[in-house]
Amino acid sequence: MNQKLLFARAYETEAAKRIPETDRPLFHLTPYTGWMNDPNGFSFYNGKYHLFYQYNPYDTVWDAMHWGHAESSDLLHWTYLPAAMAPDTWYDEAGVYSGSAETLSDGRHLLLYTGVRKEGGESGTEYQSQCVAIGDGREYHKVMINPVISESTLPDAFDRSNFRDPKVWRKPDGTYGCVVGTRRENGLGALLQYESKDGLHWSFVGVLTENDGRLGLMWECPDFFPLDGKAVVLISPQDMLPEGFEYHNGNGTVALIGRYDEETKRFVPEQDQAIDYGIDFYAPTTLLAPDGRRIMVAWMQNWDTTKLSAQTESRWFGQMTIPRELSIQNGRLYQRPVRELEQLRSNEVRYTGVRFTDVIRLDGVEGRAVDLEITVRPASDAPLYHKFAVRFFQNEQFHTNLSYRPHESVLKIDRKFSGSRRAYIHQRRCLVPNRNGEIKIRLILDRFSAEAFLNDGEQTVTATVLTDLSATGISFFADGAVEIDVTKYDLIGGSNT
């Protein structure tokens, strides 16, 4: 094994010992030690879920990308495995960037990733190509014929320095397809499709779909899969401009929903939407579970705030979202937390038809790791309320808010009172339709994050919240008269072992 990987493995096992369990979330994956960004190689292999990630074991900032590795039986209890890859060959010495995984016909595990190299010294030119490593779920070997898709084979119109994040899938006939993000000379993203008989030798099929200029510039981390009779493309566009309440500035995530034209081999988009409407969500990727579920996980972070929020005492930086089951309903992408989460529920507390105005607390409703279901409706015989809010991670000094204004149909997440001393983004709003003032909120809290699933997963709002762990309060606020049903469960039993 190469020295760089051996060194990283020795380092991470020692460094991880200095991170107490109590410093981590209970059931969200964090890096073994150091820095984590995109989820990579999310797959079901040999009876376990595998989740790799963009990884710098040595510091809590982005640098020298490795692949970290963890496995799980239920997508919630993760066991760390030794780092899978280090930047240790001529074609990936500047970084083992994002990629994906599939099972080969002989039962081995295929990793398809982007290798980055630099020519001409520090200020030279960067080249990105697609590479393969094959393994058994623990040890991986980069193949002799790497790079398997060299940037030199790119048609002239595309940028050889921006050619990355291959997503591989196995077709029903046993052959493989993959999609890779790149951009044209004008900076606009395009997704290229390739095919292969064995996962190693790839040929160019054509452009799957591309950016007409409306959705940011470069498209990172593509995914492409069938779902409920539709074809779905997921992209993480850079440099987005806001569009009403749908898209926000900066790095965004977009689901394109449409159909695949077998003849032209092009994706035909029909609709697009934000994947998540919160603050911290990027680079989502999916797997197909053995029971047919399409499950998505994303990096629970936002690139523009990484430098600022890394100023904690912590020895880890970056978390994954909770894995989410996807479906298409009424032409939209719906998300629900994986059903395995229900096995972590305990201490049920239930209230129905609680009518109130102003502020209430409900006995037994509090905690840092909870699954909270709330249905809000106008109190009978009362006019439509102006605002409803749930406050959580609360004590005398701090709270984070999810609030809803039914007259405008606007939902807002606000973490400005979460203990942050920095001027980064603390709020985001989105449009959430209601039926006569009724909305449903399922809020998953896990120590340092909040994920809200609205109206049974029609929309989601995700944010990291680093408030001191002693802030465990939850309260409800109404401007007007509302009636709420609340069910709370503690979520315990999850851990990063």
Determine the Cα angle at 145 with ends 142 and 149, to 5°: 95
> Which residues are 247's β-sheet partners?
243
In whole angstroms, the minimum distance from the beta carbon of 303 to ligand FRU comes to 7
With helix as H, strand as E and coil as C, how does 296-328 read?
EEEECCCHHHHHHHCCCCCCEECCECCCEEEEE
| Ordered DSSP codes for 92-121 | TTTEEEEEEEEE-TTSPEEEEEEEEEEESS
Of 220 and 483, CB closest to ligand FRU: 220
38 labelled catalytic? yes
One residue of 88, 92, 151, 220 binding ligand FRU per CB under 6 A: 220
Q: Which residues in the 319-358 window bind ligand FRU by CB under 6 A?
A: none
Of 221 and 461, CB closest to ligand FRU: 221
- Buried residues in 124-146 as b, exposed as e (16+ CB within 10 A): eeebbbbbbbbbebeebebeeeb
Structure tokens at 300: 């629970």
Q: Is 313 exposed, middle or buried (0-12, 13-18, 19+ CB in 10 A)?
A: exposed
Which residues contact residue 367 at a Cβ distance below 8 angstroms, ignoring those fewer than 6 apart?
445, 472, 474, 488, 490
If one asks whether residue 164 binds ligand FRU (CB under 6 A), the answer comes out as yes
One residue of 33, 98, 286, 464 binding ligand FRU per CB under 6 A: 98
In whole angstroms, the minimum distance from the beta carbon of 281 to ligand FRU comes to 12
Of 38 and 92, CB closest to ligand FRU: 38
Q: HSE-up of 83 (CA within 13 Å, CB side)?
A: 33
Cβ count near 316 (within 10 Å): 21
Q: What single DSSP character describes residue 149?
A: B
The residue annotated as part of the active site, out of 38, 88, 272, 280, is: 38
Beta strand 254-261 with 266-274 is antiparallel
Of 132 and 283, CB closest to ligand FRU: 283
If one asks whether residue 301 binds ligand FRU (CB under 6 A), the answer comes out as no
Q: How many residues of this chain bind ligand FRU (CB under 6 A)?
A: 13
Structure tokens at 467: 């408030």
Which residues contact residue 360 at a Cβ distance below 8 angstroms, ignoring those fewer than 6 apart?
354, 475, 476
In whole angstroms, the minimum distance from the beta carbon of 318 to ligand FRU comes to 11
In whole angstroms, the minimum distance from the beta carbon of 4 to ligand FRU comes to 17
Q: Which residues in the 129-158 window bind ligand FRU by CB under 6 A?
A: none
One residue of 12, 165, 451, 483 binding ligand FRU per CB under 6 A: 165
Nearest alpha carbon to residue 40 among 150, 166, 196? 166
In whole angstroms, the minimum distance from the beta carbon of 153 to ligand FRU comes to 19
One residue of 64, 149, 221, 338 binding ligand FRU per CB under 6 A: 221
In whole angstroms, the minimum distance from the beta carbon of 7 to ligand FRU comes to 20
Each residue 58-97 as x (binds ligand FRU by CB under 6 A) or -, in order, gives: -------x-------------------------------x
In whole angstroms, the minimum distance from the beta carbon of 219 to ligand FRU comes to 9
Structure tokens at 12: 């991470």
Each residue 13-42 as x (binds ligand FRU by CB under 6 A) or -, in order, gives: ------------------------xx----
If one asks whether residue 389 binds ligand FRU (CB under 6 A), the answer comes out as no
Rounded CA separation 243/140 (Å): 43
Of 65 and 365, CB closest to ligand FRU: 65
- Answer whether the bond into residue 147 is a cis peptide, omega within 30°: yes
Q: Which residues in the 256-295 window bind ligand FRU by CB under 6 A?
A: 282-283
If one asks whether residue 54 binds ligand FRU (CB under 6 A), the answer comes out as yes
One residue of 114, 420, 434, 496 binding ligand FRU per CB under 6 A: 114
Rounded CA separation 29/18 (Å): 17
Of 99 and 323, CB closest to ligand FRU: 99
If one asks whether residue 109 binds ligand FRU (CB under 6 A), the answer comes out as no
Q: Give the residue numbers marked as catalytic.
A: 38
Give contact residues for ligand FRU (rule: CB under 6 A): 37-38, 54, 65, 97-98, 114, 164-165, 220-221, 282-283
